[in-house]
């Protein structure tokens, strides 16, 4: 096996440090590996080298032609399913919220938009109360579904939904100080084979 190390090529067979030739890390029980260290834990018989796993070595980029569909062949589409579980831990109240919508377009009345499997998932880690997490959980998917550019401009639509949610919650807090709280938000929007992830904080 040839490993790229600091710009040099090196052929490694049995491995000086007890590693095997199949790319696995060295075996600490191997005699050759144990001899690398003296009682003072200083390298004695082994050379200090940086060994990089082949998967970490940058290879030249190879241009890939776009795939074309063969007539009669169907494109792979995933089956979307989800599950969720929460645990309050040692806290006195739960401030975290999640949402799992396995059929996003149907749930929000957009069946005509797309026929590919679609879903929306979100985790909202509230702090200083649960109000912001509840608000974001309800409003982010709503703002996404109501945007006239959905699903054509997904990135802009998701960013806009987060901004609208933040502004709307800030306005709600200005009218009712009892709502004051915050949340982090991590969402995933699935459209066919694509997953759009977004992470942000609200108020």
Q: pLDDT digit string (tens) for 141-193?
A: 999 999 999 999 999 999 999 999 999 999 999 999 999 999 999 999 999 88
Residue 89 belongs to some domain of the structure: no
Looking at residue 105, its pLDDT comes to 93
Average pLDDT rounded to a whole number, residues 27-37 = 55
Q: Are residues 111 and 58 in the same domain?
A: no
Q: What is the pLDDT of residue 104?
A: 95
What are the beta bridge partners of residue 121?
A: 100, 188
Q: Is residue 45 in a domain?
A: yes
pLDDT-derived band of residue 2, with 50, 70 and 90 as boundaries?
very low
Tokens linked to 175: 């009218």
Identify the pLDDT of residue 184. 96
Strands 2-5 vs 194-202: parallel, antiparallel or unpaired:
unpaired
Buried b / exposed e across 45-70, counting CB within 10 Å, b at 16+? eeeeeebeeeeeeeeeeeeeeeeeee
Same domain for 35 and 108 = no
Task: Report the predicted TM-score, pTM, of the whole model to 2 decimal places.
Answer: 0.62
Shared-domain flag, residues 32 and 106: no
100: β partners: 121
Q: Which residue has the higher pLDDT, 44 or 165?
A: 165
In a domain, 79, yes or no: no
CATH at residue 108: 3.60.40.10
Distance, C-alpha 87 to centroid of its chain:
21
How far is residue 132 from each of residues 92, 112, 124, 189, measured CA to CA in Å? 18, 32, 9, 20
Asked if 53 contacts 23 with a C-beta cutoff of 8 angstroms, the reply is yes
- The answer to whether the beta carbons of residues 1 and 23 sit under 8 Å apart is yes
Q: How far apart are CA 124 and CA 132, in angstroms?
A: 9
Q: Are residues 45 and 106 in the same domain?
A: no
- Give the pair of three-digit tokens for residue 20: 């095997």
41 with 34: CB under 8 angstroms?
Answer: no
Provide the domain limits for residue 144: 96-202
Averaged pLDDT score across all residues of the chain: 77
Cα–Cα distance for residue pair 3/15, rounded to 1 Å: 11
Q: What is the pLDDT at residue 55?
A: 52
Indicate if the pLDDT at residue 24 is higher than 70: no
**Does the pLDDT at position 20 exceed 60?**
no
The answer to whether residue 70 sits within a structural domain is no
Last residue of a domain, one of 13, 44, 64: 64
Q: Do residues 17 and 103 both lie within one domain? A: no
Tens of pLDDT, residues 76-118:
777 888 999 999 889 899 999 999 999 999 999 998 888 889 9
pLDDT at position 78: 74
Give percent above pLDDT 90 in the chain. 49
Indicate whether 5 belongs to any domain. yes
More confident residue, 9 or 127: 127
Q: Scan for tokens 């974001």, then name that residue.
A: 136
Same domain, 46 and 140: no
Please tell me the total count of domains within the chain.
2
């Amino acid at each position: 096996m040839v490993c790229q190390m600091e710009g040099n090529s090196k052929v490694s067979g049995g491995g000086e440090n007890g590693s095997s030739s199949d790319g696995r890390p060295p075996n600490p029980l191997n005699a050759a590996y144990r001899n690398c260290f003296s009682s003072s834990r200083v390298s004695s018989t082994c050379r200090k080298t940086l060994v990089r796993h082949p998967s970490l070595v940058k290879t030249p980029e190879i241009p890939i032609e776009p795939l074309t569909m063969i007539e009669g062949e169907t494109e792979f589409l995933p089956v979307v399913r989800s599950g969720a579980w929460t645990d309050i831990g040692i806290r006195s109240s739960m401030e975290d919220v999640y949402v799992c919508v396995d059929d996003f377009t149907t749930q929000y009345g957009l069946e005509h938009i797309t026929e590919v499997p679609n879903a929306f998932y979100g985790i909202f880690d509230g702090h200083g109360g649960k109000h912001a997490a509840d608000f974001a959980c309800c409003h982010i998917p709503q703002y996404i579904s109501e945007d006239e550019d959905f699903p054509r401009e997904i990135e802009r639509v998701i960013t806009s939904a987060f901004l609208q949610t933040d502004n709307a919650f800030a306005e709600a807090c200005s009218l009712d100080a009892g709502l004051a709280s915050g949340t982090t938000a991590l969402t995933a929007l699935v459209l066919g084979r694509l997953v759009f992830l977004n992470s942000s904080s609200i108020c």
